Amino acid sequence: MESLDATPTTEVTHRTLKNEQGRVFREIDAAGVVAVRNRGQIDGILMAPSMFDALRSRAANAERLLAALPLLIAAARAEVAIPSETFQALGIGGRDDWRALNELLASVPVTITQGEDGHPLPETSDVVLQHIPVEEDDEELVVDADAATAVA
Partner 1 sequence: MSPEPAGDSPYRHHVDYWVAAVEAGEYPVRQGDLFADVQTADGAHLDAALIVHPTCELGKASVRNVQVACVQPLDALPDKNQRQQVVAGISEKDGGLQIAFAHTFFVAPVEGSALDLPMWADLRELVLAPREQFIPDARIGALTHDARVTFIRRYLYFRLRWSLSFEQVRDMEAARIGADPTFAGPRPDWVA
Q: Which is nearer to partner 1, 106 or 151 (CB)?
A: 106
Order of strands across the sheet that contains 33-38: 10-13, 33-38, 41-47
Q: Fill in the DSSP letter of residue 116.
A: T
| Amino acid sitting at position 78 | A
Question: At closest approach, how far in Å is the CB of 11 from partner 1?
Answer: 34
Shortest spacing between CB 134 and partner 1, in angstroms: 9
Of 7 and 149, which has the nearer Cβ to partner 1? Answer: 149
Find the shortest distance in angstroms from Cβ 55 to partner 1.
16
Those residues with Cβ within 8 angstroms of residue 93's Cβ, 6 or more apart along the chain or in another chain: 81, 87
Smallest gap from Cβ 58 to partner 1, in A, equals: 11
Q: Which residues make up the interface to partner 1 (CB under 8 A)?
A: 61-62, 64-65, 67-68, 71-72, 81-88, 96, 98-99, 101-103, 105-116, 118, 121-122, 124-125, 127, 129-131, 133, 140
Choice between 5 and 116, CB closer to partner 1: 116
The gap from C-alpha 95 to its chain's centroid, in whole angstroms, comes to: 29
Burial of 75 (0-12, 13-18, 19+ CB in 10 A): buried
Nearer to partner 1, 38 or 86 (CB): 86
Q: Is 140 helix (H, G, I), strand (E, B) or coil?
A: coil
Distance CA 52, CA 59 (A): 11
